[in-house]
Amino acid sequence: MKKIAALTLLIAVSAIAQEHVTVIRNATVLTITNGRIEHGSVVMRGSKIAAVGPDSSISVPAGAAVIDAAGKFVMPGIIDSHSHTAVEGAVNEGSLANTGMVRIADVMTAEEIAAYRQLAGGTTTALILHGSANSIGGQSQIAKWKWGKPVSEWPIKDAPRTIKFALGENPKSANFRPPEGVPRQYPATRMGVEEVIRTSFTDARDYLAKWDEYEAKQKRGEPAIPPRRDLLMETMADILRGRIDVHSHCYRSDEILMLLNVAHDMGFHIKTLQHVLEGYKVAKEIAAAGTGAGTFIDWWGFKAEAYDAIPYNIALMTRSGVLTSVNSDSAELARRLNQDAAKAMKYGGLTADEALKLCTINPAKELGIDTRVGSIEVGKDADVVIWTGDPLSTYSRVETTFIEGEIYFDRSRDLEQRQQLAREKADRLKKEAEETAREKKDTKGRKKNG
Amino acid sequence: MKHGSLAALVCLVLSVPANGDAPGVYAITNGVVHPVSGPEISGGVVVIRVGLIESVGAGVAIPADATTIDAKGGHVYPGLVDAQTSAGFASPAPRPRRGEATTTTTERRESAPAINPTPAFIALESLKLSDDDADDWRRIGVTTIVTAPTTDIFNGQSVVLNLGSGEPAGNAIRSPAAMQISFNPRRRSTFPDSLMGVIAYLRQTFLDAQQHSAALAVYQRNPAGLTRPESSRSLDALAPVMRRDLPIVFLADSEEMIRRAQAIAREFNLRYIISGARQGYRMAGDLRDVPVLVSVKWPAPPATKEDREEQPLRVIRDRQLAPTTPSVLAKSGVSFALVSGAGKAGDYFRGIRKAIDNGLSADEALRATTLVPARIFGVDRQLGTLERGKIANVIISDKPIFAKDAKVMRVLVDGREVRLAEKEEAETAAASPAEGTWNLTVRMPSGSVSIVVTLHVENGRVTGNFSGDRGSGDIRDGTFDDSTLEFTISVKSDAEAGDWTFHGTVRDSNITGNVTTNLGTFEFSGSKSR
């Protein structure tokens, strides 16, 4: 207990001291955007990266904590472009075909241990998405896994607003067997999915016209009743205004083209396609639309629309000029996205540098947060991970994970804590068992007396 | 439950006034008087005249027309106020089982409970509280409750109700007392069926209420030439909430839920009260500006050692720290009441005693069950202490009220003595066969999936949680009827994302059935952990 308290204090103190400086020295630094530096140093001052370069060029500031990382690798925190971790309650508001009014930000929880486990795999940032039960799902949230902090501190405050769309089997069969007395939900076909999306945006234009009319009347000094502020329509309108980025779940090439066409017709942009397992068939079109692609590296055949998936997908899309990333869609896979990135070297021959980008700067660009995260550069957030070896090797593991200059995972601390936590658990269970036994005795005694 | 012979057992140790039911004149003498408004008075006198307290003190003269109640050796208190109950509103009936096609929708609707609360729902007009139900509270010294349904999202307007005889209307101290809101997702496929949907729904409803008032105001100024706004009872009922005249009671237990409630209240500048708050110990500093009704239904450990050991430390830690919430709030100067929470009254005192075992003083517990709840609901000029002019809700116990084996001997509500039927020793209700922890295996084409569910059954309604190969969370829409168990879990992994609805038959400690998912229907089986 004491040790835990001390540890917490340490973390708390480092948070208060804004100018806390940590220097990692003598490491192989994978900057992502400026190549690899052997015998390199990274200086973290406060929440930012203050310097990066060969050891010889970096002087250690007085009072800095120095970590000797000889033989080790340092890379930026991994970014997962498709997560459902740390959502309390259902991840789908599945009752309607368009639930753009709901927000993941309202239901994030700091109690999700998977967030800590992802830190142990070097993942620091994620796009936390609504599920795929509806053609237009809820608003998603870009956040960092600041395990131990109140959940209000997890979101990246100035990150773009985002929303989840979904195509194909999930939205068309979300309520395939509705409960007794509830009619089956529209849409039930891919045609219907397209119609839902189109109609939502024509409705949004009508909605905006109503407000324009009201505001014009007000300007003329005429009495006017304010229209209803409809949170769903406000969301659709903000997509049209370019204030919300669309990230769409999809699998098949036909539906991918459909969505790109709808977006073109309606006047909005698809920021990324998610999963996009048949992306290789229409990679040129995706690239031409300026749309990114976050995909599974080697998941296939798990559902009808995944039969044409191939592990070369990501390499083929990359070579066609698509901005690509590996995503997890899973609290478990999110712990080892480095390994999925490495598989892109085996399947399709991406270079090591290209592979590393798949889980760092590329997803950062896709999410619109690349000025803050995704590479080791001066001025960026100090989200930095120390690995025992090359992160593209399955034999490497994470030693320490920093977010904004603070340690959120450290393997040696974790191992130390395990014993203390096991002891605390045993003590608490013992105490509880004794209490329960006492209470039982009391109840029995009362019954006898009464 | 009750038999004529038991009514005869209403022989009390103390003398019974000649006409117990009349709101007459009484003088309670010789007891230790705990007025709450001041220090205790040994051998004090409490004089009651026609429903109100006339005087309280040590040397108070006993009026000639008073019937004396000798409380020698006993303790005299103001009647307790349980400020969060759902008394008078049945827990929802188990919903019909899948495939029960013999009844039409209309028939089902008629047999279902009539309560479908909205913001315009007035608890006082619909509550059904029998004398037996009221006795559950009066027997432990509670003479006033605050009640409203808790099953939907907007649960209507609660009432502060005296537990006297006669119709509820005659016993209402304050109605409406508050707008009662729970973060309850609705059944699958009915908006909102998720927590985030509930929050979006609340946000939209409050916006609609603002717009409704604004639209009406514009229309009333310029009725000619404008289309009249639609009328809405629900939005009209929210107008006093938006004006901060009527507070909201948010049912919120965990720190995260409390913060969500606070965020909504801040967004719309609403006056509010938090009810539940069992993780309040974590955030006392952030509760200083909000009244809190702490539910003393403390989380209980699982029944078996194996299940307890399987739980993560933070669940165990949280369960053990929850009962420190009242003492932590007391030390931080938070205004809080202790409440029994939705459901039965029986464990109210056990819960209060647990809070006292965890650092709350008996005096603080007494204030948290008398004056503080009265203040929170704005009825402290009528209730909450033994003072001249207040409503004569008075109880007499043989020992200090929160002592383990204290017994309430006499109860006066509105100056009328309530005769308590002697309660039969409650048979320990046989646990429902569905109750407990189940290890389930779902046979899917891709292989077997293991899911552990822990179920709690109350009146056919099943609550609990799940964990295993497909994540973890609470179960929803749970029902159990004789042998048929049904519940829904939300699975997050994308390919199988969505609701999995289990429908199974329980035989002894085994269950078999089907689970319906987006991918199709699969068989599952399982057994109960020992």
Contact of A305 with A169, CB cutoff 8 Å: yes
Instruction: Specify the pLDDT at position B115.
Output: 58
pLDDT in tens, A43-94: 999 999 999 999 999 999 999 999 999 999 999 999 999 999 999 999 999 9
Of B190, B199, B494, the CB nearest to A95: B190
Instruction: Specify the pLDDT at position B10.
Output: 34
Interchain CB contact of B499 with A (< 8 Å)? yes
Interchain CB contact of A99 with B (< 8 Å)? yes
> How sure is the predictor about A9, in pLDDT bands with cuts at 50, 70 and 90?
very low
Of B227, B425, B477, the CB nearest to A450: B425
B394-453 residues touching A, CB cutoff 8 A: 404-405, 425, 446
Interchain CB contact of A170 with B (< 8 Å)? yes
For residue A44, count other CB atoms closer than 10 A to its CB.
Answer: 26
Chain B residues lying within 8 Å of A106, measured CB to CB: 195-196, 199-200, 260, 263
Of B200, B208, B301, the CB nearest to A101: B200
Helix A231-240 and helix A190-219, axial crossing angle in degrees, nearest 10: 90
Interchain CB contact of A330 with B (< 8 Å)? yes
Over residues B40-54, mean pLDDT: 96
Instruction: Specify the pLDDT at position A174.
Output: 76
Over residues B423-452, mean pLDDT: 73
> How sure is the predictor about B422, in pLDDT bands with cuts at 50, 70 and 90?
low
Instruction: Specify the pLDDT at position B427.
Output: 40
- Report CB contact under 8 Å: B196, A103: yes
- Report CB contact under 8 Å: A432, B316: yes
B82-111 residues touching A, CB cutoff 8 A: 95-96, 98-100, 105, 108
Which chain B residue lies closest to A185 (C-alpha atoms)? B189
Instruction: Specify the pLDDT at position A437.
Output: 86
pLDDT in tens, B438-494: 889 888 877 788 888 988 887 777 888 888 878 778 888 888 877 789 899 988 766
| Minimal C-alpha gap between A360 and chain B (Å) | 22
Question: B239 phi and psi, to 5 degrees?
Answer: -55, -50
B299-328 residues touching A, CB cutoff 8 A: 301, 305, 308-309, 312-314, 316-317, 320
- Report CB contact under 8 Å: B498, A330: no
B122-161 residues touching A, CB cutoff 8 A: none
Total-model pTM: 0.85
- Report CB contact under 8 Å: B194, A102: yes
- Report CB contact under 8 Å: B493, A329: yes
> How sure is the predictor about A18, in pLDDT bands with cuts at 50, 70 and 90?
low
Interchain CB contact of A62 with B (< 8 Å)? no
Interchain CB contact of B521 with A (< 8 Å)? yes
- Report CB contact under 8 Å: A182, B308: no
pLDDT at residue B6 greater than cutoff 70: no
Interchain CB contact of A275 with B (< 8 Å)? yes
Question: Distance (Å, rounded) from C-alpha A442 to C-alpha A213?
Answer: 73
Instruction: Specify the pLDDT at position A446.
Output: 58
pLDDT in tens, B237-287: 999 999 999 999 999 999 999 999 999 999 999 999 999 999 999 999 999
pLDDT in tens, A421-435: 999 999 999 999 998
Chain B residues lying within 8 Å of A95, measured CB to CB: 186, 188-193, 197
Determine the residue among B9, B110, B196 to mutate to test chain A binding: the one whose Cβ has the most chain A Cβ atoms within 10 Å. B196
- Report CB contact under 8 Å: B256, A109: yes
pLDDT at residue A274 greater than cutoff 60: yes
Its ipTM equals: 0.93
Question: Distance (Å, rounded) from C-alpha B450 to C-alpha B524?
Answer: 10
> How sure is the predictor about B15, in pLDDT bands with cuts at 50, 70 and 90?
very low
Interchain CB contact of A104 with B (< 8 Å)? yes
Of B191, B211, B312, the CB nearest to A226: B211
pLDDT at residue B4 greater than cutoff 60: no
**Burial of residue A411, with CB atoms counted within 10 A of its CB: 0-12 exposed, 13-18 middle, 19 or more buried:** middle
More confident residue, A447 or A92: A92
Which chain B residue lies closest to A107 (C-alpha atoms)? B196
Percent of residues, chain B, with pLDDT higher than 90: 63
| Minimal C-alpha gap between B41 and chain A (Å) | 30
CA distances from A217 to A38, A225, A283, B264, B353 (A): 67, 10, 48, 32, 64
Over residues A34-48, mean pLDDT: 97
Interchain CB contact of A218 with B (< 8 Å)? no
For residue B389, count other CB atoms closer than 10 A to its CB.
Answer: 10
Over residues A212-216, mean pLDDT: 97
Interchain CB contact of A446 with B (< 8 Å)? yes
Length of chain B: 530
Mean pLDDT of chain A: 93
Over residues B189-194, mean pLDDT: 92
Chain A residues lying within 8 Å of B404, measured CB to CB: 442
Taking CB atoms within 8 Å and a gap of at least 24, the contacts of B169-176 are B169/B124, B171/B414, B172/B124, B173/B144, B173/B379, B173/B382, B173/B383, B173/B391, B174/B377, B174/B378, B174/B379, B175/B122, B175/B123, B175/B124, B176/B122, B176/B123, B176/B124, B176/B246
For residue A10, count other CB atoms closer than 10 A to its CB.
Answer: 12
Determine the residue among A87, A109, A225 to mutate to test chain B binding: the one whose Cβ has the most chain B Cβ atoms within 10 Å. A225
| Minimal C-alpha gap between B380 and chain A (Å) | 36
- Report CB contact under 8 Å: B313, A225: no
Over residues B410-422, mean pLDDT: 89
Question: Rounded to the nearest 10 degrees, how much is the dihedral formed by the CA atoms of B207, B209, B215, B217?
Answer: -130
User: Pick from B115, B39, B266, B475: which is nearest to A89 by CA?
Assistant: B475
Chain B residues lying within 8 Å of A302, measured CB to CB: 446, 495
Of A84, A102, A174, the CB nearest to B200: A102
Of B203, B208, B256, the CB nearest to A228: B208
A332-351 residues touching B, CB cutoff 8 A: none
Question: Distance (Å, rounded) from C-alpha A68 to C-alpha A81?
Answer: 32
